[in-house]
Amino acid sequence: MTENKEHLFLIFENLFKIKSECSSEILCGCGLPDITLKQIGYLKVIDSYGEITFSKLAEVTSNSKPTISEMINKFIRMECVYKKKSPDDGRVFHICLTEKGQTICRSEQRALFQLTEKMMYSLTDDEVKMLVGILEKVK
């Protein structure tokens, strides 16, 4: 049984490596191969709100407003976000993702889709059905 466990581990390790390579390709395509997981996490928070104020982002991420301002300025330079004035209060700005920012924060999902495509290309229809049946048993 230990041999099977090790073999399964190696198979999953290879699948994760392929997914990671797909993610890297996506991030390199955006011109940001060195973006950190923490930065991607902040972009995901902004994405989940659609648009968010500096104050709300500071609250949600448990950061100070100056830290958020510094981070957002960096994201603006990276062309991941932009600021827009609130129509209700000209002193308030909303942070929104650019198309590039959306691509980055959704890169993991796109990478999984690419991995799935590679698997579909490598397997017959019957093998895909069998794999789906087996993986559905894992809870």
Q: Are residues 85 and 40 in the same domain?
A: yes
Q: How far apart are CA 63 and CA 132, in angstroms?
A: 42
For residue 29, what pLDDT is reported? 86
Q: Which domain holds residue 96?
A: 35-100
* Sheet containing 51-53: order of strands: 51-53, 93-97, 81-85
Q: Are residues 139 and 118 in the same domain?
A: yes
Q: Are residues 92 and 131 in the same domain?
A: no
Q: Are residues 92 and 132 in the same domain?
A: no
Q: Are residues 129 and 112 in the same domain?
A: yes
Q: Are residues 47 and 61 in the same domain?
A: yes
Q: Model pTM?
A: 0.75
Provide the CATH number for the domain around residue 78. Answer: 1.10.10.10
Q: How far apart are CA 52 and CA 111, in angstroms?
A: 26
Give phi and psi for 116, each to the nearest 5. Answer: -60, -40
pLDDT in tens, the chain (139 residues): 688 899 989 999 999 998 888 888 888 888 888 888 889 999 999 999 999 999 999 999 999 999 999 999 999 999 999 999 988 888 889 999 999 999 998 888 888 999 999 999 999 999 999 999 999 998 8
Domain total for the chain?
A: 2
Q: Are residues 43 and 93 in the same domain?
A: yes
Q: Are residues 28 and 12 in the same domain?
A: yes
